[in-house]
């Protein structure tokens, strides 16, 4: 079983061509739904009483929701604006709302999860939460600039507790104070993670394990409309694939990274979560095959 812990949000996304308001988002939502193409994950998250029924219905279609808390108050709301290159996002507003005082609880039936993904939460909360799982085979976390800036030592402690870190390139540099991504990854592995996957957006990703470096390109796309959630979709597909295979050897993890690239590519093709909704396995398999053909020489 796979458990995903993290934020479910209402996102306002502003791109040069379109603004979408209060649409379903959040790191855990993207990751869990992306993972759902490989097995049905459990979600530990909180939303407010204002959370629209239609979004609840979407979540319940893809995920086990016994870990979802509905609290008094409003749902976490993020508002961000992309520049014309779609590569730089400015945060306009972050209303934590019910997320601010959320005390996550692990449902009894989730505690046997062998795969756990900790999305971009408070690292201290992540460390406390992961201890409630007693059969973990593979745990993975991501982190963001906010935690690196405010709780860097806790981020490093969290890294000790997980098998793998997925992190984007700029955050990896910020966290490690290194410029070269190999040096970044080595530092993170020295802190205790066995695997590091550095996400580079349109440039793909780099997976590290001991002395192995596995660089992979992104799936090339001409029409990108909204990069929101691409990295979370990458991570979700990665751990979802591993959980579905129930194997964590290097060859399987490399393949999981390819699925990560592919789900990330679906995510950016539509606004918000739409890119990874209503996919079917043959679409995913087809794109993995296209990917393999694309890079062959």
Query: Torsion angle of alpha carbons 48, 10, 261, 205, nearest 10°?
Result: -90
Of the CA atoms within 13 Å of residue 243, those in its CB half-sphere come to 30
Helices 27-35 and 250-267: angle between axes, nearest 10 degrees: 120
- Under the criterion CB under 8 A, does residue 66 sit at the interface with a copy of itself? no
CB of 139 or CB of 205, closer to a copy of itself = 205
Strands 205-209, 42-48: pairing kind: unpaired
CB atoms inside a 10 Å sphere around CB 274:
16
Site string for a copy of itself, 172-211 (x = CB under 8 A): -------xxxxx--x-------------x-xxx-x-----
Secondary structure of residue 286 in the 3-state scheme? helix
Could you tell me how far CA 221 lies from the centroid of its own chain?
20
DSSP sequence for 82-93? E-TTSS-EEEEE
Site for a copy of itself in 275-294 (CB under 8 A): 294
How many chain residues touch a copy of itself (CB under 8 A)? 34
- Which residues are bridge partners to 140 per DSSP? 117, 164
Using CB under 8 A, pick the residue from 68, 86, 242, 267 that binds a copy of itself: 86
- Under the criterion CB under 8 A, does residue 216 sit at the interface with a copy of itself? yes
- Under the criterion CB under 8 A, does residue 215 sit at the interface with a copy of itself? yes
- Under the criterion CB under 8 A, does residue 224 sit at the interface with a copy of itself? yes
Please tell me the distance from the alpha carbon of residue 91 to that of residue 13, in angstroms, as a whole number. Answer: 10
- Under the criterion CB under 8 A, does residue 77 sit at the interface with a copy of itself? no
Using CB under 8 A, pick the residue from 53, 85, 88, 280 that binds a copy of itself: 85
Could you tell me how far CA 66 lies from the centroid of its own chain?
20
CB of 86 or CB of 164, closer to a copy of itself = 86
- Under the criterion CB under 8 A, does residue 90 sit at the interface with a copy of itself? no
CB of 109 or CB of 170, closer to a copy of itself = 170
Binding site for a copy of itself (CB under 8 A): 84-87, 179-183, 186, 200, 202-204, 206, 213-218, 220-224, 251, 254-255, 257-258, 294-295, 297
């Amino acid at each position: 079983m796979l458990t995903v812990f993290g934020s479910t949000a209402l996102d306002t996304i502003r791109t040069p061509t379109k603004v979408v308001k209060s649409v379903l988002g959040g790191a855990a939502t993207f990751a869990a739904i992306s993972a759902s193409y490989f097995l049905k994950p459990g979600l530990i998250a909180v939303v407010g009483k204002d959370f629209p029924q239609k979004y609840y219905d979407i979540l319940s279609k893809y995920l086990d929701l016994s870990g979802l808390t509905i609290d008094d108050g409003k749902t976490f709301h993020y508002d961000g604006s992309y520049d014309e290159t779609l590569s730089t996002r400015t945060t306009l507003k972050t209303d934590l709302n019910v997320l601010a005082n959320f005390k996550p609880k692990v449902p009894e039936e989730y505690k046997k999860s062998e795969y756990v993904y900790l999305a971009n939460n408070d690292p201290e909360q992540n460390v406390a939460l992961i201890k409630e799982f007693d059969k973990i085979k593979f745990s993975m976390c991501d982190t963001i600039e906010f935690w690196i800036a405010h709780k860097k030592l806790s981020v490093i402690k969290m890294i000790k507790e997980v098998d793998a870190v997925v992190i984007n390139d700029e955050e990896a540099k910020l966290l490690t104070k290194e410029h070269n991504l190999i040096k970044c990854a080595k530092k993170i592995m020295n802190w205790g993670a066995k695997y590091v996957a550095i996400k580079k957006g349109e440039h793909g990703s780099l997976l590290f394990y001991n002395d192995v470096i596995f660089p992979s390109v992104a799936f090339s796309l001409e029409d990108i409309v909204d990069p929101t959630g691409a990295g979370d979709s990458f991570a979700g597909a990665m751990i979802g694939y591993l959980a579905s295979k129930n194997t964590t050897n290097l060859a399987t993890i490399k393949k999981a990274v390819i699925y990560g690239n592919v789900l990330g590519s679906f995510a950016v093709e539509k606004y918000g979560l739409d890119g990874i909704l209503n996919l079917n396995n043959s679409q995913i398999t087809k794109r993995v095959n296209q990917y393999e053909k694309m890079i062959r020489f």
